Amino acid sequence: MPNKRFAIIDIETTGGKPGPDRITEIAIVLYDGQEVIDSFESLINPERSIPHNITQMTGISNEMVAGAPKFYEVAKQVVEMTQGAIFVAHNVGFDYNFIKYEFQQLGFSFRRRKLCTVRLSRKVFPGLRSYSLGNLIKHFDISVTDRHRAMADTLATVELLKKASPKTKKTPAKAWSISASVLPAFLQISPSTNSTNSPKPAASIIFTTKTAMSYMSVKV
């Protein structure tokens, strides 16, 4: 993965649909293909209540986010950390479109190249029972201390990306050539077009036509 910078991202939300549901936590890890170079995490006040079943799954309660920053308060850091990087997430459409929605509410647009580790894993590691993050964590024996929290899942996705890299010794030899050849094809290109006359981050993407529940089922 030469000359590429990856912004690996995970969010926790109040549900599966941007708009009615909102972000409750975000984590970003910058990875240059060799090592982690920066990271950021924060709870987010979703400005709506968190359903009990979501709290049971993530451990994030209404009390925890009551004093947390709202999305607009962390938006600048999100822009700066993802600028010029490939936006990576497990089931990338879920995370990307929630973040895209938040920027739309602020009157901004958000456009980044995207890489989905679900699609990449299906190609590089064929034949697995499931490509949910939980199953891949078990399959590859990735150490995770706090599942369904943003930073823990982000770090697990970093490890998954490393294993899919043609340079990692943990990737089977047969997968090396596959990974090297398919990685560019799995980048969903949406070139950034920042205006020199505006501080707005450039944005927008075509939303993949899947249901919110199908996104969540693969993500977890």
pLDDT in tens, 170-207: 555 454 444 555 566 566 544 443 433 333 333 333 33
For 84, counting Cβ atoms within 10 Å of its Cβ (0-12 exposed, 13-18 middle, 19+ buried), the class is: exposed
Would 1 be classed as within a structural domain?
Answer: no
181 inside domain: yes
Establish if 130 belongs to a structural domain.
yes
Residue 220 lies in a domain: no
Tell me whether residue 219 is in a domain. no
pLDDT above 90 covers a percentage of the chain that reads: 69
Instruction: Specify the 3-state DSSP secondary structure of 99.
Output: helix
Does the pLDDT value for residue 215 go beyond 50? no
pLDDT above 60 for 16: yes
Distances from the Cα of 188 to the Cα of 51, 205, 212, angstroms: 32, 10, 20
Alpha carbon distances (Å) from 170 to 29, 141, 158, 175: 21, 12, 14, 10
Average pLDDT of the segment spanning 49-70: 97
Q: 């549901």: which residue's tokens?
A: 21
Q: Is the dihedral of CA 187, 190, 196, 197 positive or negative?
A: negative
218 falls within a domain? no
Q: Which residue has the higher pLDDT, 217 or 114?
A: 114
Straight-line distance from the first to the last Cα atom of the chain, in angstroms, rounded to the nearest whole number: 26
Structure tokens at 35: 């090592």
Range of 143's domain? Answer: 6-211
Mean pLDDT in residue range 118-127: 94
Q: Is 212 helix (H, G, I), strand (E, B) or coil?
A: helix
Question: Residue 208: its pLDDT value, please?
Answer: 35
DSSP states of 135-196 as a string?
HHHHHTT---SSTTSHHHHHHHHHHHHHHHSTT-TTS-HHHHHHHHHHTGGGEE-------T
pTM: 0.80
Structurally, the chain folds into a number of domains equal to 1
| Residues annotated as part of the active site | 148
Q: Stretch 19-36: mean pLDDT, rounded?
A: 96
Q: At what angle do helices 173-182 and 117-124 cross, to 10 degrees?
A: 140
CATH number at residue 37: 3.30.420.10
In a domain, 184, yes or no: yes
| Segment 93-117 mean pLDDT | 97
Q: Is 216 part of any domain?
A: no
Identify the band that residue 3 occupies on the pLDDT scale cut at 50, 70 and 90: low
